[in-house]
């Protein structure tokens, strides 16, 4: 009985995935008068992501610089302790 319920659950998941996949195709293929279409959606997506990309890349670069600064500081302190 457990195997039948598991199989039914898997089939439902597969059907849900197929429905979502088809909805994505319809969304990007563009139905005239309803959806903008692939290129319009792609342009909006790119325009929206550029600012976020710049924010995250800037944050990562600043974090790496801060981490390098702290590592250099710790190494200098370690060299001073070794010299004594």
Q: Are residues 52 and 78 in the same domain?
A: yes
- pLDDT attached to residue 62: 92
pLDDT for position 60 = 92
Whole-prediction pTM value? Answer: 0.48
Q: Specify whether 46 is located in the same domain as 84.
A: yes
Same domain flag for 7 and 24: yes
**17, 47: one domain:** no
CA angle 43, 48, 50 (to 5 degrees): 95
Per-residue pLDDT tens over the stretch 24-62:
777 667 666 655 566 777 778 878 888 888 889 999 999
- Measured distance CA(49)–CA(82) in Å, rounded: 49
* DSSP state for residue 53 in the 8-state scheme: H
Same-domain pairing of 76 and 59: yes
Please give the residue range of the domain that contains residue 52.
38-84
65 to 51, 52, 61, 69, 70: CA distances (angstroms): 21, 20, 6, 6, 9
Same domain, 52 and 23: no
Between 80 and 37, the higher pLDDT residue: 80
């Amino acid at each position: 009985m457990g195997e039948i319920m598991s199989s039914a659950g898997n089939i439902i998941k597969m059907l849900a995935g197929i429905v979502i996949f088809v909805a994505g195709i319809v969304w990007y293929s563009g139905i005239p008068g309803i959806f903008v279409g692939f290129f319009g959606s792609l342009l909006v997506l790119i325009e929206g992501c550029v600012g976020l990309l710049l924010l995250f890349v800037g944050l990562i670069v600043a974090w790496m610089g801060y981490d390098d600064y702290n590592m250099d500081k710790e190494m200098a302190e370690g060299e001073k302790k070794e010299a004594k």
